[in-house]
Structure 1
Amino acid sequence: MLPEQWNTLKRLIRGEETKVNTALIVDSPWIPPFLNISTAEYLKNPTLHFQSNMKIIREYPEIIFFPGFWVEMGMAAEPSGYGTPVEYYDNQPPTIKHIIEDISEIDRLKQPNPARDGLMPDILKRYKELRPLVRAEGMDINIIAARGPMTLASHLMGVTNFLVGLKTEPELTHRLMKMTTETVIQWLKAQAEVLPEVQGIFVLDDIMGFLCDEDYLEFAHDYFKEIFSLPAELKVLHNDTPNPVSFKYLTDLGIDMFNFSHQVPIPDLRQLVGDKIVLMGNISPLDIMVNGSEEEVYAAANTCIQQNGGNPRFLLSAGGGVSMGTPESTLKGIIRAINDANRE
């Protein structure tokens, strides 16, 4: 991430930014096909990974590519530490298969060590290789990322099985949540150890958006709060489900920024979360950003800017991550929208 972009994020969370800015969550599903390279080569070749990230940063300096130089192995990093099978492909990120079918099998799971288990050691090695290259360009890797504890649990046993277990075996569900929460914390700490300049954490978890109010408070809130108690200057949560149950509790989590669904109107979300959190969104990532024209993207971006109503804690983005197949015309439409907004 460019130093001025990191400074922009810091001004945003302080409520001091006067311009409209944009950031896009980009990773292995989007970058390789956008640049017409093999996903497999992108993931296994450190030089190609670095050059690819540098190319988009240089060509679109108006956009904050978030979190920046992310070594993202699909959804496989954390669950691979538990021994989940990983399948690789030439032109899409790796996929995983769950390893237990029922929460009663929890004793089969062993707490992983990020330094030795699954793909995590390889990812840490990649960050060590990337760091001097990034620093030589006058940048740092400022933000590290992890899938959240509920998403991790669902990868270990399947979404439906996890949600059924949550209702039928609450004590075992808490055991699993304690285990996955510890994994998330240790994984973030391990990344921070090899990237000492890190100042931000980014946690992605959609499964928290599958819960009712009672279940969120019982099985989710305190575990996420523990993760976000880690020391960091910037704490970001991604949950692009439209379920509003968790929204009123986000301030108590201690997060600074929230990336949310395109199905949630910005004024409604602002009313629930208050003015202390930067809202990061929320153009439709598929209907508009993949399938829309540049003019449709421009119009959707303007709608988001207008719905924000001038609140300084706002970052124009997709309502989620950037989907595979998002074209250059989308980036141009977003850049044109923020440039026009900043001229007004």
Structure 2
Amino acid sequence: IDYFSNDQLWLDANLKAINDFPDVMFLPGFWSEFGMCTEPSAFGARCTFPPDEFPHAHIVIKSPEEIDDLVDPDPRTDGLLPFVLNRLKIAQPKIEAAGHKIRFAVARGPLNIANYLMGTTEFLMAMISEPERADKLVRKITNFLKNWIELQRETFPTIDGIFLLDDIIGFIGEDEFKTFGLPYFKELFDTDVTIKFLHNDAPCKVSAPCLPEMGVNLFNMGFDISLNELKELTQNKVTLLGNIPPRDVLASGTIDNVTKTTTSLVKSLVDKNKIIMSCGGGMPPGVKTENINAFIQAVNNS
């Protein structure tokens, strides 16, 4: 909880990571957030902050009928969003004095937020049983996200990238994705920034062929699919960021295990262009410095 409540500690931690690993790019970099509570809080979600665990948001929508009455949040004033921006405003002079910039507008994707507002099972069922209301919910969230992303860009003109995180894409079929996912992600990524970055470490074979149409040009996937296969699915139009198993190898593996897994992955690549070596998913807690250094060295030596 100190990381979320102490702005100086947050800044020091981010700068330490960058300084300790100068050969590593940290994406999105200086990530100001409150875990999965960030965007749901603007819709009125109760947020729980355990002392030494990730925070989580509680559901707001108890039935599909309640979607009709869901508030339209103002990202300038609602939930935790003003605190997200203010932390960055306070830190900006020191970030820039250290030679860095605030580069990304960051948000959870519309399906991910809907999942937290309604519950996973309930939202997925609503897609089938109440498709008009489910679509209304995603529409409302997308409108909010467009405002939230624009506010971040207005506040920090150095932003030249959008980073959206949405694993729920991986839990729906092709028809549902093309109805509730594709058109809304196209809207969100349809803006004049250089980097359009998507994270989905759930299954991605359904959505991957649509990434170029969505506007995505940088994709962080899970580790259940090979980078070679993803290159084919995306017609080699998207830069791929991955995909060492984060928990079982990078966090829990030995130095030898990290080295062998990384070397094997690099050697397996048919084409090394448009590949950035990283985790297959988000960086997990508890990764040892020695394992990160082993990963870096294995990439450099491969």
The TM-score bracket by the shorter chain reads over 0.9
How far off its partner does 1:46 sit? 1.4
Question: Which amino acid letter does the alignment assign opposite residue 270 of structure 1?
Answer: K
Q: TM (normalized to structure 1)? A: 0.86
Indicate the SS of the match to 2:263: helix
Indicate the SS of the match to 1:286: helix
CA distance in 1 between partners of 2:265 and 2:63 (Å): 42
How far off its partner does 1:140 sit? 0.3
CA distance in 1 between partners of 2:105 and 2:287 (Å): 24
Question: Which amino acid letter does the alignment assign opposite residue 16 of structure 2?
Answer: K
Q: Is 1:193 aligned to residue 157 of structure 2?
A: no
Q: Is the 8 A contact 1:70 1:144 kept in 2?
A: no
Picking from 51, 55, 60, the partner of 1:90 is 51
CA distance in 2 between partners of 1:115 and 1:336 (Å): 43
Partner of 1:271: 232
Partner of 2:179: 218
Partner of 2:101: 140
Partner of 1:25: none
Q: Is 1:112 aligned to residue 83 of structure 2?
A: no
Question: Which amino acid letter does the alignment assign opposite residue 260 of structure 1?
Answer: M
How far off its partner does 1:211 sit? 1.1
Q: Is the 8 A contact 2:68 2:133 kept in 1?
A: no
Q: Is 1:333 aligned to residue 301 of structure 2?
A: no
CA distance in 2 between partners of 1:190 and 1:265 (Å): 36
Q: Is the 8 A contact 1:114 1:186 kept in 2?
A: yes
Partner of 1:166: 127
Hey, which bits of structure 1, 4+ residues long, moved more than 6 A? none
Q: Is the 8 A contact 1:213 1:246 kept in 2?
A: yes
Give matches, 1:280-299, under 5 Å: 280-299=241-260
How far off its partner does 1:196 sit? 1.2
CA RMSD of aligned residues (A): 1.1
CA deviations on 1:283-326 (whole Å, 9 max, x unpaired) are 11111111111111111112221233343200001110011122
Picking from 27, 42, 60, the partner of 1:66 is 27
How far off its partner does 1:223 sit? 0.4
Q: Is 1:314 aligned to residue 279 of structure 2?
A: no
Question: Which amino acid letter does the alignment assign opposite residue 233 of structure 1?
Answer: T
How far off its partner does 1:107 sit? 2.2
Partner of 1:26: none
CA distance in 2 between partners of 1:183 and 1:154 (Å): 15
CA deviations on 1:31-80 (whole Å, 9 max, x unpaired) are xxxxxxxxx12211111111111111111111111110001211011100
CA distance in 2 between partners of 1:201 and 1:290 (Å): 27
CA distance in 1 between partners of 2:261 and 2:134 (Å): 40
CA distance in 1 between partners of 2:102 and 2:225 (Å): 30
How far off its partner does 1:240 sit? 0.5
CA distance in 2 between partners of 1:204 and 1:50 (Å): 22
CA distance in 1 between partners of 2:84 and 2:204 (Å): 33
Q: Percent identity?
A: 34
How far off its partner does 1:182 sit? 1.3
CA distance in 1 between partners of 2:105 and 2:14 (Å): 15
CA distance in 1 between partners of 2:296 and 2:172 (Å): 36
Q: Is 1:257 aligned to residue 218 of structure 2?
A: yes
CA distance in 2 between partners of 1:102 and 1:273 (Å): 37
How far off its partner does 1:90 sit? 2.0
Question: Which amino acid letter does the alignment assign opposite residue 100 of structure 1?
Answer: I
Question: Which amino acid letter does the alignment assign opposite residue 167 of structure 1?
Answer: I
Q: Is the 8 A contact 2:169 2:204 kept in 1?
A: no
Q: TM (normalized to structure 2)? A: 0.97
**Can you give the 5+ residue segments of structure 1 that lack an aligned partner in the other structure?**
1-39
